[in-house]
Amino acid sequence: MAFKTPKEIAQGMVQTGRAKAELPIIKMLVLGFLAGAYIALGGLLAVKVAGTIPNEVLGSLQKFIFAAVFPVGLMMVLIAGGELVTGNMMTQPIAFLDKKIGFGGIIKNWTFVYIGNFIGSVFVAYVLSYFTGLILEPVKTGDVVTSMPWAAFVVKIANAKTSMPWWVAFWRAVGCNWLVALAVWMAFAAEDIVGKIFAIWWPIMAFVAIGFEHSVANMFFIPLGIYAGNDPAYIAFAKSAQGIAAHAPLLKATWESFLVNNLIPVTLGNIVGAGLFVGTVYWWVYLKAEK
């Protein structure tokens, strides 16, 4: 058979969760850094290819192109290797329910992988996206800057994500990690790399195109929007006649609103989406009954 059955996936996820809980802390941090960086690189790619597409002209095409390239991040995590906390929000609960790890194993893994993911995401946001100037690249007519499309794009993203009501962010995060955990689940089922890529692409493309909220992705998008929105060159452009004509927004997001309005509710929603709707449900269906 070219793929594992759902019951075989459930059994494999229990062992995967156990192995993740037994990793040394330093490896959790390093692999967490890599996974955060990979997701951020997928986010940077999405911004660069979709940021100049006029949404008001082409409608949902901009969103689809953004969503279509973003999954490269999870492909690198699952195929090259990395520890992504949103995937572990499914593997650790199923291992716990099957009595292969204790509650302390869940907390240890989630805590240090989360820290590693945050560092990796912010590293790509600041060093590879902002410091390199990639996100601040202008479009000019002669010597006049007529737009800063990528900076304006990420500022809009940061403003939108930090202005959502708390429970809206929470439930969007539930939907997101239900799909992300299913991508991890189905990728485990595939016996070859091409199969894994297809299994990953569809659910990840879907959650991004729908507009759901992913905590690790937001560790990249919102800090990048804050860095770009606070840059003097961008502020000057956004206040200029050209910036007003180009609808370049001023930054409203702050580090506090990032944490309180987005990262906390999105993290909690991600736990419910993966832990309850995938890990717990499939454990009950395929593993609990036979005991």
Q: What is the pLDDT of residues 138-177, one digit of tens each?
A: 988 888 888 999 999 999 999 999 999 999 999 999 999 9
Fold of 6-288: Glycerol uptake facilitator protein (1.20.1080)
158: tokens are 């940061």
Q: Say whether pLDDT at 195 is over 90.
A: yes
Does the pLDDT of residue 191 top 70, yes or no?
Answer: yes
pLDDT per residue as tens digits for the range 82-102:
999 999 999 999 999 999 999
Whether 2 shows a pLDDT value over 90: the answer reads: no
Residue range 8-58, pLDDT digits in tens: 999 999 999 999 999 999 999 999 999 999 999 999 999 999 998 887 766
CA atoms of 7 and 135, how far apart (whole Å): 45
Strand 139-141 to 144-147 pairing = antiparallel
Which residue in this structure is represented by tokens 């229990």?
A: 14
Percent of the chain residues topping a pLDDT of 70: 98
pLDDT at residue 143, rounded to an integer: 80
What pLDDT, in 10s, does the model give residues 211-220? 999 999 999 9
Cα separation, 12 vs 228, whole angstroms: 43
pLDDT value for 58 = 67
Two tokens, residue 143: 């010597």
pTM (2 d.p.):
0.96
What mean pLDDT comes out for the span 230-239? 96
Calculate the average pLDDT of the chain.
Answer: 95
In this structure, are residues 152 and 248 in contact, taking their beta carbons and an 8 Å threshold? Answer: yes
Q: What integer pLDDT is reported at residue 55 of this predicted model?
A: 74
